[in-house]
Amino acid sequence: MVKKLINALTPRRCAGHPGARLTAAAALATASPLIAGLAGPVRAEAATATPRIIPAPASLRTVPGRSFALTRATRIVVTSRSRDAVGVATYLAGLVRPSTGYRLPVVTGPAGSPHAITLSLAPASGLGTEGYRLDVTGGGVRIQAPTAAGLFYGVQTLRQLLPAKVEARSVRPGPWTVPAVHISDRPRFGWRGAMLDVSRHFFTVAETKRYIDEISLYKINTLHLHLSDDQGWRIAIKSWPRLATYGGSTEVGGGAGGYYTQAEYQDIVAYARKHFITVVPEIDTPGHTNAALASYADLNCDGKAPPLYTGTEVGFSSLCVDKDLTYRFLDDVIGELARLTPGSYVHIGGDEAHSTPLADYVKFIDRVQPLVHAHGKNMVGWNEIAQADVKPGPATLAQNWSIADGTTPVDDPLATAAVRKGVQLVLSPANHAYLDMQYDKDSPYGLHWAGYVSVRKSYQWDPTTIFTGVTEHDVRGVEAPIWSETLTDLHEVEYMAFPRLAGIAEIGWSPRQGRSWEEYRTRLAAQGPRWTAMGVNFYHSPEIAWDSAS
């Protein structure tokens, strides 16, 4: 009975969900808010020349007249000595030097220096903590922001204003023209996440860093690392060493697995931070714990360690809810993780605890939540945690992975429960935002328990219209998870993430008003040559009329 209840509240894995239908066809034919925001007289010429940027900026105005061109003489000028601003300038130089072959020195100097890309860290109203203004005139480029994060996002926009070949890692012929624009931009949501499952298959530090490089282009600011599951424990815990050395010694299919040492994990966290990305580590509990249970017999209710697991079933493992040792174990693990993680959230999983009776599940979450808080962190959990006595925001976030219709709001008891308790949601609807779902029946990798997720389907939903009773205020943001049961290396991850991740990033960043698939797909087409130049293995979906390489 109890189990039935938890099943009823748990998103079902089912096949064949019919594709989302188009919303108002007329709206699709009109331009995005950025074009619609243009002054009347320039609209006609500007419409053809509007730069194709993802995520769409909150406001963009093209300016007729001279564009700017990077030349051998271009310098990157930072108007203050702020280390963070200089860091962003150095990052920009590192991106643009290899393909242009220019020196692009980073110097401090006044705004308005000739022939410069100027980065100014300066208070500006209306930009929040991540917004920026970007102005391109014949004389130069100026990015202004109240924070270094804002400068970084301005740089990502500038990157997309430059020709795609700028992404190449060897010298290409110019010209390196930047169209004249005025952009004022800030994100809609503060949590714009990507999740990488490093448990089902292990991904090396180098692969994870490369994924960070790639998601940065779309202004993603959260990297959720799924560090433990039935098939592997991927982070060294000094007080429980066998978790990694034994629990991390295999993966789906029986490969060698692996784990991050604490120094490696910190290296990833620091690398992410340089990209203004916060790492959220997840230790999945009380289910999805076979790797831990196999490593320490005492964690099991019967004191017997199960064998390591390399299959893809879910819902069969559970920590022993009534043993005190379980909580000492979690206190140690969460404590070590919290010390290694500067971000304010630790994810405790909580999904698919099918072999934990509901009453035990609630008891368990109610004991784990204070442990997370005692180590100075807030708690994130998959939406099933809303069944427990979860504390209101910002103490708790619920990551919702239910199947949603996309166009018509549906009732979701777990989303409703979270909202009633004052807990904000991170939206990852499985049939729109799960990047591990196959695009269609011919996709070489991926699952399809939530249906096939075409590029269009991944784009056509909004956090505030999928569930009844969930308003903008209840939403912390969006996240695109990539689960790795079928994905063995970054090449395969890229194929599933691109192009769909760009659309989820836009849903997290851009204003909702005026959003249309037809307009979006023309902007997405411009990303193809960019990914090619970056060496990203993207899926050349036939839904998009890809630009040919420039």
Structure tokens at 475: 């939403």
**Of 111 and 314, which CB lies nearer to ligand NGO in the complex structure?**
314
Q: How far is CA 421 from the centre of its chain?
A: 25
Site string for ligand NGO, 478-507 (x = CB under 6 A): -----x-x----------------------
In sign, the C-alpha dihedral spanning 474, 3, 317, 337 is positive
Q: Is 379 helix (H, G, I), strand (E, B) or coil?
A: strand
Q: Report in angstroms how near the CB of residue 347 gets to ligand NGO at its nearest.
A: 11
**Of 163 and 257, which CB lies nearer to ligand NGO in the complex structure?**
257
Strand order in the sheet with 75-78: 59-62, 181-185, 132-137, 140-145, 116-121, 75-78, 106-108
Site string for ligand NGO, 386-425 (x = CB under 6 A): ---------------x------------------------
Q: Report in angstroms how near the CB of residue 248 gets to ligand NGO at its nearest.
A: 17
**Of 163 and 349, which CB lies nearer to ligand NGO in the complex structure?**
349
Among 28, 63, 314, 395, the residue binding ligand NGO under the rule CB under 6 A is 314
Q: Is 20 helix (H, G, I), strand (E, B) or coil?
A: coil
d(CA 279, CA 301): 33
Q: Report in angstroms how near the CB of residue 314 gets to ligand NGO at its nearest.
A: 5
**Of 214 and 351, which CB lies nearer to ligand NGO in the complex structure?**
351
Helix, strand, coil shares of the chain, percent, nearest 5, are 35, 20, 45
Q: Please choose, from the candidates 207, 195, 202, the residue with its C-alpha nearest in 3D space to the C-alpha of residue 278.
A: 195
Q: Which 336-375 residues touch ligand NGO, going by CB under 6 A?
A: 351-352
According to the binding rule CB under 6 A, does residue 93 interact with ligand NGO?
A: no
Q: Which 244-273 residues touch ligand NGO, going by CB under 6 A?
A: none
Would you call 352 a catalytic residue per the annotation? yes
According to the binding rule CB under 6 A, does residue 447 interact with ligand NGO?
A: yes
d(CA 307, CA 294): 6
Structure tokens at 362: 């609630």
Q: Report in angstroms how near the CB of residue 32 gets to ligand NGO at its nearest.
A: 31
**Of 221 and 399, which CB lies nearer to ligand NGO in the complex structure?**
399
Q: Which of 130, 352, 384, 519 is catalytic?
A: 352
Site string for ligand NGO, 424-443 (x = CB under 6 A): ----------x-x-------
Considering just the CA atoms, what is the radius of gyration of the chain in Å? 24
Q: Report in angstroms how near the CB of residue 514 gets to ligand NGO at its nearest.
A: 32
Q: Please choose, from the candidates 315, 314, 290, the residue with its C-alpha nearest in 3D space to the C-alpha of residue 304.
A: 290
Strand-pair category, 191-197 with 140-145: unpaired
Among 153, 218, 382, 509, the residue binding ligand NGO under the rule CB under 6 A is 382
C-alpha pair distances (Å), 473 with each of 157, 404, 410, 464, 469: 27, 19, 18, 9, 11
d(CA 357, CA 6): 8
Q: Report in angstroms how near the CB of residue 445 gets to ligand NGO at its nearest.
A: 12
Number of residues near ligand NGO (by CB under 6 A): 10
Q: At what angle do helices 358-374 and 2-9 cross, to 10 degrees?
A: 60
Active site residues: 352
> What residues line the site for ligand NGO (CB under 6 A)?
314, 351-352, 382, 401, 434, 436, 447, 483, 485
